[in-house]
Structure 1
Amino acid sequence: MSSSAAYEVDECRGVLRVFSDGSIVRSPNPSFPVPVQDDGSVDWKDAQFDAAHDLQLRLYKPRYRLPSDGPKFPVFYYFHGGGFCIGSRTWPNCQNYCLRLAAELRAVVVAPDYRLAPEHRLPAAIDDGAASVEWLHRQAVSPDPDPWLAEAADIGRVFISGDSAGGNIAHHLAVRFGSATGRAKLEPVRIRGFVHLMPFFGGTRRTKSEAECPKDAFLNLELNDRYWRLSLPRGATADHPLVNPFGPESPNLEPVEFEPMLVVVGERDLLRDRAAEYAKRLKEWGKPVELAEFQGQQHGFFTIDPWSEPANELMRVIKRFVNEKRNGSN
């Protein structure tokens, strides 16, 4: 079929268009055109963490030290959302969130990009997430590390977080680096906890929150299914182990050693039931998991309105979790 006869078969939030001939068009503009609210209290810069795929991450650190900060800041990773298909560390909604995290957590924030589908289907994004953590390890053992990390980052107090698809990445990193072997590979980097923000899990059987999700929701069922259709390995179903932690072919999570984990859900989020079930099962197996549910909130409420009171409360919950776990206590 000639390109002139090609027609659009999939579209994601106005920034990704997939055509019938397999061609893909990505807009350079973000789907969240909000102003960046930078008050100058946080410095930021970009660094490359994967030369082979030309992947960048954005580093943030508080500009000023407070008496309560201690000698160095903890490190807090943030993987953006977007159904594995859209999103970037450069988007203003991501920038605003990371500026808040760095300022309010008093942390060095690491916001990596990862390869996006459908050009790069799963597990590319998860492998890239692991590569960004391994970059921190390389910096930690390098004779010439990034000066920001050398001066400001306590690599013995690292937290991994992710929003939606980023929450899925954070889960897989928790599994990958949870074993004694995984932890040893990162020494002297030490992960102290994980924060899963409305993690993007799926399955072939509909949950109640999926079946009852309104069509006008920020993440509705049609868009949810579209993201999986574009990001899954070809021929895979939504029960693939990368999608469904408890699918028929998924590895048993009961023997996995998990660091402390905070799972955040919204009462009106399509993904609510899967994330709540994830936290419930892990807790029943004795894992150090805490569930925080935000009443009346839908998917991405802190991205849609980052200065709302629920978004402020989420920041307080994350700050409390980090402060409790930063020294390794459960």
Structure 2
Amino acid sequence: MNQIQVVDSTTTAPIDPSHKMTGDAAPHVVEEVPGVLQLLSDGSVVRGDESVLWPKDPLPDVPGVQWKDVLYHAAHALSVRVYRPESSPSVTGSSSKLPVLVYFHGGGYCLGSYTQPHFQAYCLRVAAELPAVVLSVQYRLAPEHRLPAAIEDGAAFLSWLRCQAELGAGGGVDPWLAESADFARTFISGASAGANLAHHVTVQAASTQEQRAVHPLRVAGYVLMSAFFGGADRTPAEVNPPLDVTLTVDGSDKLWRMSLPVGASRDHPVANPFGPESPNLAPVDLPPVLVVTPEKDVLRDHVMGYAARLREMGKAVEVAEFLGERHGFSVLQPFSEAADELMRVLRRFVYADFASPTAL
């Protein structure tokens, strides 16, 4: 039986189904991802082995990429995994440095880790094949740290990255970034909840006054893959979901209940970027966005609606639809034909010649 760690405790014990008995004196389960995560009635959290959620097929190696972990937030002990090709070829011919792709992993804000092998495989591919400097960011998870904690961490990471860009080749900058990163071509990206996080970090950065000033870090675009958006009203894809989905409507609802502030609905601004209390994005000078949406996804209508609303506002939006694919295909099957096509789409977007990238 898998062993788990009880949060804020030094003891370990297996996940106990008897916790479900609400008549027990002991705390009972109020939400759970079976075998992986339990939220108890006293607010404590029990975590199991998340590897049971992932495909068991071995992942091939991606040669020619270096990686290391760098601490970016000492107070919360948060790190970023930095990937770069062992050699830094000039794709455009204008610079030996490479674009920077910030990446936030998925997991409904409750699960996942930047160290998980499938997220690692995706980042290795991107670093090797775009090529790019990839920054895979650790952030705090719910329900121990409910939203907006993860968004605060994402914003803190971007502030750290700005400081790295300002330091340039001077003292204190990470040497890999100084050698390889073209901060003027920075892209913010993520998958599932990571895509939701990428949206909010990009909006926050684009909404601040400091983005108007000349700054060595410039965000040229953002990329949302299988974005984890929601809303109080059900969409057609949620009412009549596709067959054999990897994320169910019930699963999505459960993750929102565990990650949003207690008592919040799916119209909370974090879940629904166009909800009744969400900020108006029309005046926000957003950079171009690439929206990647799989066909067999209960969240498909939310994602397509997001792209349509931005287009109505005059924003630069590219949509890449993947027929027959499911939510999270970019990491669940990181070496599939669909993943190969995603790499081509991503490379074209990152290396597009945007005349006036937005400075953040």
Q: Using structure 2 for the length normalisation, give the TM-score.
A: 0.86
Percent identity of equivalent pairs: 51
Change (3 A) 1:180 1:224: closer
Greater C-alpha Rg: 2
Deviation by residue 1:185-223 (Cα, 9 ceiling, x = unmatched)? 782111100001111111100001111125752100110
Aligned to 1:166: 194
Q: Distance in 1 between matches of 2:163 and 2:57?
A: 35
Q: Indicate whether 1:90 and 2:115 are aligned.
A: yes
Q: Is contact 2:81–2:137 with CA below 8 Å preserved after alignment?
A: yes
Counterparts in 2 of 1:5-44, with a 5 A limit?
Answer: 5-12=26-33, 14-27=35-48, 29-30=50-51, 31-32=53-54, 35-44=58-67
How far apart are residue 39 of structure 1 and its match? Answer: 3.3
Q: Return the match for 1:45 from 68, 75, 78.
A: 68
Q: Distance in 2 between matches of 1:254 and 1:188?
A: 26
Deviation by residue 1:204-259 (Cα, 9 ceiling, x = unmatched)? 00001111125752100110000000001112111111111111111111111110
Aligned to 1:319: 347
Change (3 A) 1:185 1:22: farther
Amino acid across the alignment from 1:126: I
- SS of residue in 2 equivalent to 1:316: helix
- SS of residue in 2 equivalent to 1:178: helix
Q: Return the match for 1:80 from 97, 105, 123.
A: 105
Aligned to 1:302: 330
Moved more, 308-317 or 75-84: 308-317
Change (3 A) 1:284 1:67: closer
Counterparts in 2 of 1:1-330, with a 5 A limit?
Answer: 5-12=26-33, 14-27=35-48, 29-30=50-51, 31-32=53-54, 35-66=58-89, 68=91, 70-142=95-167, 143-179=171-207, 181-184=209-212, 187-214=215-242, 216-325=244-353, 328=356
Structure 2's unaligned 5+ residue stretches are: 1-21
Change (3 A) 1:327 1:37: farther
- SS of residue in 2 equivalent to 1:204: coil
Q: Distance in 2 between matches of 1:2 and 1:289?
A: 53
Give the length in aligned residue pairs: 330
Structure 1's unaligned 5+ residue stretches are: none
Change (3 A) 1:179 1:112: same
Amino acid across the alignment from 1:88: S
Deviation by residue 1:118-140 (Cα, 9 ceiling, x = unmatched)? 01111111111111111111112
Q: Is contact 1:192–1:325 with CA below 8 Å preserved after alignment?
A: no
Q: Is contact 2:242–2:296 with CA below 8 Å preserved after alignment?
A: no
